[in-house]
Structure 1
Amino acid sequence: MLFNSYRLIREGSVTTPQLHPLIDKITASMDRLTPKGRILGEYIVSEPRKAVFMTTKELAEACEVSEATVVRFVSGIGYDRYSDFQQDLRDFVDTELTLLDRLDIADIQAPGAARFRRTVAEEIDNLQQLYNTLDVETMQTVVDVLNRKAPVHVIGSRLSYTMAYYLGWTMTKVRDNIRILRGSDRTTIDWLTIAPADSVTVIVATSRYPNELIRLGKLVKRLGHTLVVITDSTACPVLQFADHRLIALSKHIPYLGSPTPMSCLINFLVHELASRQGEILKAHQAKLEQSYWENDVLFNMKKRTPATPE
């Protein structure tokens, strides 16, 4: 079973290393929970993929307890709201799901129109979650870091490389000294090692968190560079090395990924960074546009002449 390593043991302590914070909260609270509370805890840890989609009423019915017991249980393990508990449970489940597990819950056999509406509705929910949970002051602090007169290395791997490339590419349009690196490319270690001590590294990490990004986070920490981690969950293992963090939470568990919240966050960061450049921004972008023109990089109607009829 997928979550065997996280099962609670009725008698004795759980010794499984690297427990998720939610599971750790439940196991740490077991001794002081009521008997019905312990039933809830055991059910959640043994059946997280079912519990994550349940309302308080559905969870109460599954465990044959009252809704009030569910509310007291959530409060007893340290959550102010059921939605906060459910978000942590969602992050736990998302981190552990394999591709085959995701296929089981994706309902890809649904009619195309229904699947389209569901996809759009879920992304709207994810954006609302981003809007409600991300702190503007924290985002401004990260922009302060990105605005330093220092080299910035932007790193991603697998799915997150798409977002890392997007962040790095757009940043090159508003400031200089940006380098986009692949976590899977071992020469990334070289670039980080020879980078100036005041460098800023941005690691973009999305579930299911490639080990190579964890190793690079550890390297950046050892080198003493400022590390910004942009991720989609508080469960991201790269966060332990971060000096600054931005977490673009999603409400739903994606089949293959949900780039909408993170791309929206990146847009804000780059727009805010651009707003701080002043006249330097115009000079920087004029230089780029001149190079595009001279090297015929982008399609331009002014350079095109109508084809001569034969």
Structure 2
Amino acid sequence: MNDIASHPVIDDISSKLDTLTPKAQALGNYIMINPAKVVFMTTKELAEACEVSEATVVRFVATMGYKGYSDFQDALKDFINTGLSLPDRVNLKGIDEPGLDRLHRGILEELNNLKFLYENIDVERMNQFITHMDTSPFIYVTGSRLSYTFAYYLGWSLTKVRKGIQILKGSDSTAMDMLANAPAQSLVILTATTRYPNELIKLSKMIRRCGHTLLVLTDSSISPVIPFAHQSLVVPSKSIPFIGNVSGMLAVIQYMVQELAHRKGEALRTYQEQLEQVYLENDLLFNIDPK
């Protein structure tokens, strides 16, 4: 788990603790010691655990600067998600439950994640990303471990819409060679998901030193690569994943690629007709009616 004072939520509680009432202090101490429990507790459950009233919980959250308890829990969720180990995640996800129960719960969880994304995604920032994708002559897309899945999907999809796309595996040190030799002021899109490989932090620093434009597509406002980005886009989710939240990231990538395709206009048809000709001439794809 994370250090007790390694996130703004915990740091803020710690810094204000001495100014709080005794009951609020008891509440704050409990949250700092048990953040993984609190993130799933209702106000009633938290109040009972600390032997205070629900009104004390509500006032405490307001004192910390949050509009409501759910906003406080969302901030705390990012802190928990970053530090949870694999065994911790197994305990959270009820792996011992019957398989059908896990299926139904998993589907409902993804639906809630998508609803949360729909209500909270920064559309203006997404469109700024698309403008970069449209105007930059050279684009490099990279990620590592789980996030490489999203990097590959984004990069592969972009090759169906425009030229000048390179996909790099961030865990391969040759990615640094490729970016060091990339044309000046290239656009680099880096995907980063919890639990944030250190190699992506090193790569982000190197990208900035090379003078490239760095866009970061990530899943949390405390993602450690954000400080190195020229622009970042957080894909919010409601739940703490077992391995990783997938549906929201894929939905955002699909939107950005489709919107880019829309902006290309008639040039898209010409480009895609050329691609289809290459596929046909080289017999690359299954054709149910070959000629």
| TM-score normalised according to structure 2 size | 0.97
In structure 1, the residue matched to 2:149 is: 162
Note if 1:28 corresponds to 2:6: no
Distance 2:271 2:17 in 1: 59
Residue in 2 that maps onto 1:60: 47
CA offsets, 1:14-58, max 9 Å, x none? xx6xx2121122122222222222111111111111101011111
Which SS does the other structure have where 1:301 is aligned?
A: coil
Tell whether 2:192 aligns with 1:210.
Answer: no
The code of the aligned residue for 1:212 comes to E
What residue is the counterpart of 2:101 in the other structure?
Answer: 114
Instruction: Give the equivalent residue in structure 1 for 2:178.
Output: 191
The answer to whether the 8 A contact 1:150-1:198 is kept is no
Name the SS for the 1:258 alignment partner. coil
Q: Which moved more, 1:236-245 or 1:76-85?
A: 76-85
Cα contact 2:27–2:50 (8 A) shared by 1 = yes
What aligned pairs does 1:126-141 form with structure 2 within 5 A after superposition?
Answer: 126-141=113-128
**Residue 142 of structure 1 pairs with residue 129 of structure 2:** yes
* Partner residue, 1:45: 32
Alignment-derived partner of residue 11 in structure 1: none
* Partner of residue 273, structure 1: 260
Whole-angstrom distance in 1 between the partners of 2:20 and 2:151:
44
AA matched with 2:139: V
Post-superposition shift, 1:284? 1.1
Q: Which amino acid aligns with 1:70?
A: V
Greater displacement, 237-246 / 19-28: 19-28
Amino acid across the alignment from 2:190: I
Match of 2:64 in 1: 77
The change in CA–CA distance for 1:149 and 1:200 in structure 2 (over 3 A counts) is closer
Point out the more displaced range, 220-229 or 94-103: 220-229
Contact 2:136 2:187 in 1 (8 A): no
Partner of 1:252: 239
Superposed, 1:198-237 pairs within 5 Å as 198-237=185-224
Answer whether contact 1:29 1:76 (CA < 8 A) is retained: no
Equivalent residues of 1:160, 1:205 under 8 A apart: yes
**1:292-307 equivalent positions in 2, closer than 5 A:** 292-303=279-290
The two structures have a TM-score, normalised by structure 1, of 0.91
Give per-residue Cα distances to partners, 1:202-238, cap 9 Å, x unaligned: 1100100000011111111222211111111112100
- TM superposition shift of 1:149: 3.4
Q: Show CA shifts across 1:211-270 (max 9, x none).
A: 001111111122221111111111210011111111111111111112110000100110
* Alpha-carbon distance, 1:87 to partner: 0.8
Structure 1 residue 293, shift from structure 2 partner = 0.4
Question: What is the one-letter code of the residue matched to 1:142?
Answer: F
- Bigger Cα displacement from structure 2, 256-265 vs 28-37: 28-37
CA distance in 2, matches of 1:36, 1:260: 41
Which residue in the other structure is 1:290 paired with?
Answer: 277
Which amino acid in the other structure matches residue 72 of structure 1? R
Q: Does the 8 Å CA contact 1:155/1:202 hold for their aligned counterparts?
A: yes
List structure 1 segments (4+ residues) > 6 angstroms apart after TM superposition: none
Q: Which residue identity lines up with residue 133 of structure 2 in the other structure?
A: L
Q: Quote the sequence identity (%).
A: 52
In structure 2, distance between residues paired with 1:218 and 1:106 = 35
How many positions carry a matched residue from both structures? 291
Q: What SS class does the counterpart of residue 264 from structure 2 fall into?
A: coil
How far the C-alpha of 1:197 sits from its partner, in A, is 2.1
Which SS does the other structure have where 1:102 is aligned?
helix
* Residue of structure 2 in register with 1:125 after alignment: 112
Amino acid at match of 1:291: V
Q: CA deviation at 1:198?
A: 2.0
Specify the SS of the correspondent of 2:124. Answer: helix
Partner Cα distance (1:231, 1:166) in 2: 14
Amino acid aligned to 2:55: A
